[in-house]
Amino acid sequence: MRLTAFTDYCLRVMMYSALAGERLVTINEIAQAYGISASHLTKVVFFLGQHGYLTTVRGKGGGMRLADDPQQVNLGKLVRAAETDNVLVECFDPQHSQCRIASACRLMNVLHAAQEAFYGELSRHTLADLLVQPAGLGRALGIEIRLVSD
């Protein structure tokens, strides 16, 4: 299973925003911290805002912050929402599958179970689990840690 760059960036934005606590952060700030494209992050932030993960403030002095406490952000739910193409192999998409053995093959069931186990493991964790020891992450990103619980 491989996550898309979009999903990876969603997780990174959420982690950074959580480290900042109530402080508004900007797309450019996050892009610089991770060394990634601000234009890619614009799409990510729009998605996260539309799905209720971030609260955004427009205009001068604007930015974004987490909409919920990190303990309320389920990683499995977030990743499922961000991963729009869950077609692991051709036979997962019966409308477009050209697989000649699909009707007799057991591989699809095994792969589907593996995919569900992957999402199941993610669903056991929240954003807060990624921030248990935030000091190293804060140093790596060059951010002053201001977790909501502080």
Q: What's 106's domain CATH number?
A: 1.10.10.10
For residue 149, pLDDT over 60 is answered with no
pLDDT of residue 88: 67
Q: Is 71 inside any structural domain? A: yes
For residue 148, pLDDT over 70 is answered with no
> What token pair was written down for 22?
């109530």
pTM for this structure? 0.88
Tell me: the pLDDT tens digits for 109-120? 888 899 899 999
The letter for the amino acid at 7 is T
Contact at 8 Å (CB) between 147 and 33?
no
Contact at 8 Å (CB) between 147 and 19?
yes
For residue 124, pLDDT over 90 is answered with yes
Q: Helix 38-50 vs helix 27-34: angle between axes, to the nearest 10 degrees?
A: 120
Tell me: the pLDDT tens digits for 76-113? 999 999 998 776 666 666 677 777 777 787 888 888 89
3-state secondary structure at position 29: helix
Q: Is 146 inside any structural domain? A: no
**Could you give the number of structural domains in the chain?**
1
What gap in Å lies between CA 127 and CA 144, rounded to an integer?
18
Buried/exposed code over 30-59 (b: 16+ C-beta within 10 A; e: otherwise): bbebbebeeeebeebbebbeeeebbebeee
Q: Is 116 inside any structural domain? A: yes
Q: Is 148 inside any structural domain? A: no
Domain hosting residue 111, numbered range: 5-141
DSSP one-letter code for 102: T
Tell me: the pLDDT tens digits for 5-45? 999 999 999 999 999 999 999 999 999 999 999 999 999 99
Q: Is 150 inside any structural domain? A: no
For residue 55, pLDDT over 70 is answered with yes
> What token pair was written down for 136?
């190293």
Q: Is 79 inside any structural domain? A: yes
Q: Is 149 inside any structural domain? A: no
pLDDT of residue 16: 97
Q: Is 147 inside any structural domain? A: no
